[in-house]
Amino acid sequence: MPDLPTLDALQGVYSTSELRALCEQGRALFNHSADRLSVVAAELTVLLRRVPGNPMLLGLDSRAVARRVTRHLVRAAELETAAAGEMKNTWFAYEAYVLNPGQHPGAGRSFDVQA
Residue 8 domain-assigned (yes or no): no
Give backbone dihedrals phi and psi of 96, rounded to 5 degrees, phi first: -75, -40
Residue 72 domain-assigned (yes or no): yes
pLDDT tens digits along 75-110? 999 999 999 999 999 999 988 888 887 776 655 555
Average pLDDT, the chain: 81
C-alpha 54, offset from chain centre: 37
Is 73 in contact with 34 (CB distance < 8 Å)?
A: no
Residue 7 domain-assigned (yes or no): no
Residue 108 domain-assigned (yes or no): no
Residue 10 in this model has a pLDDT that exceeds 70: no
pLDDT tens digits along 26-54? 999 999 999 999 999 999 999 988 877 66
Structural domain total, the chain? 1
Residue 42 domain-assigned (yes or no): yes
Whole-prediction pTM: 0.71
Domain that holds residue 52: 16-99
Residue 4 domain-assigned (yes or no): no
